[in-house]
Structure 1
Amino acid sequence: MATTRLDRDQVVEAALRLLNEVGLEGLTLRRIAKELNVQAPALYWHFKNKQALLDEMATAMFRRLAEGAPQLDGATWQEHLIASQRTLRRALLGYRDGAKVFSGTRFTGTPHAAPMEAQLRAFVDAGFTPGAAARASFLAYTFTLGFVIEEQAVEPLPGERAPGYDVAERTALIGPDYPLTAAVGADLFEDYEARFEEALRTIVAGIEATLGPARPGSTMTP
């Protein structure tokens, strides 16, 4: 086994490489240690458990996401929200089980603070309260995570299709007893890009209607 001292970044990079090969379930500290040609206890010097490693992996993923995000100076809150969720989805789709890794993790640094501040500022400048702005951002973020988790269950990586999600087979299996359920297979399990964009438009419209600045005569409170 190698005796070269590891640093945290080496472990995270190895973990992200393996993630695309084995998925989240197959990603163990023992397997990462083998990839790095070290004994498993060497990893515990940096990460006390798998969750601590996942936190660091999510932080690294976000840093890369932020580096590739478009510049949005002067953008509206709608433009900020849509662009941030498109960027997040693309980043998550770059890794097998990327959304599962991201979900429920805690960033180990503050790479999210600057883009979050810019997005909240766009909301507040448009008349949202800070709290309503935060809830709107959270709503969109959790939608994207959930959407990509479901998308990656069907297409673990772009161009890869998981077994059991053939629309024609699904239609034949459900049969004529449930015609509506049988007919919507394509809406549920195909063309995720279009479905994501449609859902984003729906979320923006919902935020405008429920969390946005009160309109004359409106009784809604953000």
Structure 2
Amino acid sequence: MATRLDRKLVADTALRLLNDVGLEGLTLRRIAKELNVQAPALYWHFKNKQELLDEMATELYERMAALVPAAGDSFGGGDWKEMLTQGSRGMRQTLLAYRDGGKVFGGTRMRFPTSMRPMEIFLTTLRDAGFTAERAARAWFTTYVYTIGYVVEEQSVFPVPGAPDRDPAYDQEERERVMGADYPLTAAAGVEMFGDTARGFDDGLRAVIAGIEATLLHDG
């Protein structure tokens, strides 16, 4: 019996192909070949590649949502800082599992997901901690865009999920050779920016959350 072709199957297949071909190599024709159907069959579900990316982002969101416990106070123990930390780390790990995952997710127009529960938990926890509804939304969105932006940059350095090899353009010895004499601080900064990206993410996230506490929590 032939597998029923639907939007979810196409999006799942596209996400699976990402690690092989990357975002630039991902085409409806390539996905159709993987599914053993003719390309026009996919246009019944998606008018263009952007609609496909929107569906892929929606599927990624659903996978992130599955990581959030049902009870708000069990996610971060009711501590809003820990909640934002865990949520951002979970988003980063999900996106890093897919080549160009940050680019796929960032800037897309998700169709209305089946569950907005995680975001409601985040916003409720922030409001209960003393944020106004408006400032809670800003706090959540700030950590959200920080995480996506960081992952996009991180994946430009380490493009293949799980592989330790970095893009040759980020070779630190070459940076120091080319820039070291005239721009020593800029050359040395490459160690911090393109070295231990997991530690760098956590360092930046702590700075973001500290800024949220200082500027948004008591700014009603």
So what's the TM-score if we normalise by structure 1? 0.91
Q: Partner residue of 1:97? A: 100
1:154–1:162 CA contact under 8 A, matched in 2: yes
1:19–1:96 CA contact under 8 A, matched in 2: yes
Q: CA deviation at 1:64?
A: 1.4
CA-to-aligned-CA distance 1:101-157 (integer Å, 9 cap, x gap): 001112223345101111111111111100000001101100100000000000012
Give the RMSD, CA atoms, in angstroms.
Answer: 1.7
State the alpha-carbon separation in 1 of the partners of residues 212 and 115 from structure 2: 22
1:3–1:38 CA contact under 8 A, matched in 2: no
Could you tell which deviates more after superposition, 193-202 or 74-83? 74-83
Q: CA deviation at 1:8?
A: 1.8
Q: Does 1:34 align with 2:38?
A: no
Q: Partner residue of 2:158? A: 155
State the alpha-carbon separation in 2 of the partners of residues 177 and 151 from structure 1: 26
Q: Does 1:140 align with 2:143?
A: yes
2:76–2:86 CA contact under 8 A, matched in 1: no
State the alpha-carbon separation in 2 of the partners of residues 4 and 145 from structure 1: 34
2:207 to 202, 207, 212: 202
* Structure 1 runs not aligned, ≥5 long: 214-220
Could you tell which deviates more after superposition, 179-188 or 69-78? 69-78
Q: Partner residue of 2:13? A: 14
So what's the TM-score if we normalise by structure 2? 0.91
Give the percent of matched residue pairs that are identical in Structure 1 and Structure 2: 56
Could you tell which deviates more after superposition, 101-110 or 69-78? 69-78
The count of corresponding residues between Structure 1 and Structure 2 is 214
Stretches (4+) displaced over 6 A: none
Larger Rg: 1
Alignment of 1:106-125 (within 5 A): 106-111=109-114, 113-125=116-128
Q: 3-state DSSP class of the match of 1:131?
A: helix
* Structure 2 runs not aligned, ≥5 long: none
1:187 to 181, 184, 192: 192
